[in-house]
Chain A
Amino acid sequence: MRTAVLQFPGSCDERDALAAARLVGDADLHWHRDRDLRGADVVVVPGGFSYGDYLRAGAIARFSPAMESVVELAGEGGLVLGICNGFQVLCEAGLLPGALLPNAGRRFTFRQVDLEVVRTDTAFTSACEPGERLSVPAKHSWGRYYAPEETLDALEAGGQVLLRYDSAHNFNGSLRDIAGVMNAAGNVFGLMPHPEHAVDARTGSTDGLRIFESLRLAVEGARA
């Protein structure tokens, strides 16, 4: 499996995502101006402050040439993972429903959070045990997941909410404790916490590896 990790001016966590993706397969950084994804099985839109978060987090990155290809790839069923700023970009690009608003506390906040895995039968969570809780760091200023009530109802009914914060750890005030959502087709997933920062016991937990391991299983399963 080969993963392309997008790199925008202002990306911060792209090397971390690259290292995490390399634990489960081949991976490269992919420059935002480069339209050709060269047959990547998975695209990761990483965290950071693409374009300095000017205008609105993720609002400018969605217009880059690479993102146009990502939208195409998503339309063809390719796997796309957006982390933190990448989640914001995917929402801005219309690949995922809802929006990320400023944290309830109006401050950048960094904490280790517990996440409840809502579903384990998806391309992004199949390596998790049912009912498992993941300990993963979160760090952002704009992480409050918001969507209209009807959308939230539909997301829950459609099984598109894959991760929820432990309610005591929902520091950003996300509606219904939502930490990560998938599109209806099941091939695009965005989350605010950082699984790529939870892949080495020396620097924290290894729980985030499950997300990358799930992607590997999905790609290899599709090939088998």
Chain B
Amino acid sequence: MPSPPTPTVDEAIALGLTSDEHALISEKLGRAPNQVELAVFSLLWSEHCAYKHSKKLLRTLPTEGPQVIMGPGENAGAVDVGGGLACVFKVESHNHPSAVEPFQGAATGVGGILRDIFALGARPIAVLDSLRFGDPERSERSRYLLDGAVRGIGHYGNSIGVPTVGGEVYFEEPYEHNCLVNAMAIGLGERDKLVRSAAAGVGNVVVLYGASTGRDGIGGASVLASAELGEADEDKRPTVQVGDPFEESKLLECSLELLERGLIVALQDLGAAGLSSSASEMASKGAVGIDLDVARVPLREADMEPFEIMVSESQERMLCVVEPSNVPDVLAVCERWEVHGTAIGEVTGSGRLRVLHGERVVGDMPVAALVDDCPLYDLAPARPEKPLYAPAPATLAADATAQEALLALLASPNVASRRPLFEQYDAIVQSRTVRRPEECDAAVLLLPDGGAIAASIDGNGRRVAADPYRGTIGAVLECASNLACAGAEPLGTTNCLNFGNPEKPHIAWQLVEAVRGLGDACRALDAPIVGGNVSLYNEGASGPIYPTPVVGMVGRLPDASRAGRTGFVQEGDAVAIVGRREPSLAASELSRLRGEPLPDRLDDVDVADVRATQEAIRDAVRDGLLSSVHDVAEGGLAVALAECCLAGGIGARAELPQAGEPPVAPSVALFGENPGAFVVSGHPTALAQLAERVHLDIVGEVGGESLHVICGAAGIDSSLAELHAAHDSLRRFFP
């Protein structure tokens, strides 16, 4: 077979590299890269793999704490949850594949994040997802993407036996052309048995196991994930991978058995950039070299070229390093699980990634050049001088009554019940699910010692668009508030930074400000960031998405049986508002319904004060003082009260104060949003105990078949049936 001609600079540019980067690669190699080498470099030096526009920023984030077992850089982060167990978790995006083909895009997004978890030797125990689409009422495309993504997440998670226990979804115009599909996975493993991905031991064997390698997903990381979406995206459909949860189920059990029996030295999943990335990462972390013989890789299509084998993103594959004496046992375990296992290479002392095709060397690259030498770019942030985002069309008159506003808010796709989505997911397999979706503000997963892990995911892009710094702080606080409602203290944070094109100054500004907010909030809460992902270039024909830092947080509570509940429980319980009341309609859901433009900043938040409130709530839940607890978020206090009624199937009466001096308008008191406020119910004496620690106003009483609220001159009186009818509005998008 003759060698293909050496690619030109133009071909390198077509693969997403710059001419300067091509020159640098040539310098590192001492010659121009050949076809295989260019393919490998173009992926490893893509934004998706090299974080070249975000790495400097990410270095500013807090990553350490006594509870942290593994921080950023490994397949996922890990925190100590007691009893010798580690909770492993990470969130990752699969946005562009989902925008092109939602079912497979979302399904393989789940598959990919699950592999990150079990690559560490932890069993995946839960998935949460974070989705963004355009307005489903106006856009058929958004309905199609919503339906496909939900089906895809369900297909993968349900089939592999990992429960989908929570998540969030928002519908906003800026996501019309570029939807977001982020998935967070949580795993549980023995802390002393977690495995790292560093290759070690010169002479050890590199074994590829799992699905065979095909032409799917070639160039996914560079072509799809690191460029803006455009008109001809239909043509990119072949770059989307196809997932097979059955194959992954076998891969998962096979991997855990290999690790349990101590048969492997290192393990890494094959994700973006396939073999190229996995082998380079393993070699880099172990400061060794790796030789791979692509002729030994089991192929779906016999005539694949060496470069195609190196960059294929075929799903459900793992790469491990094995001592030669253990290879027969490793292959036997693979056979038992009906998984292909093939020795395809060897660990060397050369510090180079060598690609062989039989006897012939078809690529030879220094590992350090691949992994460490990609140029990092400084951002050129500039605050935009005029608004980047047009207001959504008004759907609610400015003079609507409080009652009309409440029903419109409950029916808004951003507030409506997520039940029609989560009913398509298995939330209970593995028997750990203490609180199902909508039973508690956070997901709650039972631990063997009777304690539980609580998990939440959040990120309101509209608030971040208004004020990237304070909006991102709000997303972190929202997660921590959700954990407090479960009775959990935060242990660690993961995040996925979904932004537009960072080469544009105003997007760079959003990114810089959001990361500053993320770091400040996580430091203030002692919830270090142990892993995450960056997804840039999320722009479509009509402009960038809302800047969307999706924050995932994991915590622990000592007694699962005392986990908090959202719904009112007991007729006669007192209803109270806890925490600071500084409600504002800035960037609120009500403002969106009214078609108002985004403000150019949000109110300052006293993070230490919110933390103190969260701690008081958390302790009250742990002490069993509260019948119910729910944090005030989109739609403000009135919506929070309605949600407590709907979740509990019981009504309430309340008279709300118009906080502030002078008093705020009733619409602000009812529907204004501010981080750090909670609605709780309980026996008056129990609430009095909580009031010793934190600001608390008793505003009403649980009971009856309707929600009755008075606030100044405004009033709400809605039956539970009426509230439910409004709240169930997403049902119609899933016929």
Contact = CB atoms under 8 A, between A and B. Distances in A.
B434 A203 contact: yes
A48 B250 contact: no
Interface stretch (B153-161, B185-193, B619-627): B153-161
Interface string B618-658: 00000000000000000000000000000000000000000
Nearest to B450: A202
Find the residue from A19, A109, A139 having the highest chain B CB count within 10 A: A139
Nearest to B250: A9
Contacts of A202: 434, 446, 560-561
Contacts of B425: 108, 110
A203 B561 contact: no
Interface string A33-56: 000000000000000110111100
A107 interface: yes
Given A109-B424, A111-B423, A202-B434, A9 B429 contact: no
A196 to B, nearest CB: 8
A94 interface: no
Contacts of A9: 246, 249-250, 253, 337-338
- Range of interface residues on A (Cβ < 8 Å): 20 to 34
Contact of A139 (B158, B160, B337): B158
A27 B100 CA distance: 47
B432 interface: yes
A16 B246 contact: no
A16 B158 CA distance: 15
A139 B428 contact: yes
A110 B245 contact: no
Contacts of B434: 202-203
Contacts of B159: 10, 12, 49, 52-53
B649 to A, nearest CB: 13
A19 B154 contact: no
B408 interface: no
User: Considering residues A51, A108, A109, A196, which has the most beta carbons from chain B within 10 angstroms of its beta carbon?
Assistant: A108
Given A49-B159, A108-B154, A12 B429 contact: yes
A16 B423 contact: no
A200 B423 CA distance: 21
Nearest to A9: B250
Contacts of B428: 110, 137, 139, 194, 197, 203-204
Contact of B424 (A53, A107, A196, A199): A107
A15 interface: yes
Interface in B469-518: none
B430 interface: yes
Contact of B245 (A15, A52, A199, A204): A52
B338 A16 contact: no
Interface string B236-253: 000000001111011001
B426 interface: yes
B429 A203 contact: no
A48 B432 contact: no
B247 to A, nearest CB: 8
B433 interface: yes
Interface residues on B, range: 20 to 34
Contacts of B432: 203
Interface string B34-65: 00000000000000000000000000000000
B424 A10 contact: no
A213 interface: no
B158 A108 contact: yes
Contacts of A204: 428, 433
A172 to B, nearest CB: 12
A92 interface: no
B246 A139 contact: no
Nearest to B246: A52
B731 to A, nearest CB: 11
A55 B159 CA distance: 15
Interface string A53-83: 1100000000000000000000000000000
A15 B430 contact: yes
Q: Which has the most chain A C-beta neighbours within 10 Å: B161, B429, B431?
A: B431
Contact of B160 (A12, A137, A141): A12
A200 to B, nearest CB: 7
Interface string B284-304: 000000000000000000000
A13 B446 CA distance: 16
B337 A200 contact: no
B433 A203 contact: yes
Contacts of A107: 151, 424, 734
B161 A200 contact: no
Nearest to A52: B246
A13 B429 contact: yes
Nearest to B429: A12
A197 B160 CA distance: 17
A51 B246 contact: yes
A196 B247 CA distance: 25
B430 A139 contact: no
Interface string A126-150: 0000000000010101000000000
B101 to A, nearest CB: 19
A16 B244 contact: no
A19 B422 CA distance: 25
29 contacts: A9-B246, A9-B250, A10-B159, A10-B246, A11-B161, A12-B158, A15-B430, A15-B431, A19-B431, A48-B161, A49-B159, A49-B161, A49-B249, A52-B244, A52-B246, A54-B246, A107-B424, A107-B734, A108-B426, A110-B422, A110-B427, A110-B428, A137-B428, A139-B426, A194-B428, A196-B431, A202-B561, A203-B428, A204-B428
Interface of A: 9-13, 15-16, 19, 48-49, 51-54, 107-111, 137, 139, 141, 194, 196-197, 199-204
Given A12-B429, A107-B151, A110-B428, 15 more contacts: A12-B160, A12-B249, A13-B161, A19-B431, A49-B246, A51-B246, A52-B249, A53-B246, A108-B426, A110-B422, A141-B158, A202-B434, A203-B431, A203-B434, A204-B433
Q: 5 nearest interchain CB pairs?
A: A52-B246, A12-B161, A49-B159, A16-B431, A139-B426
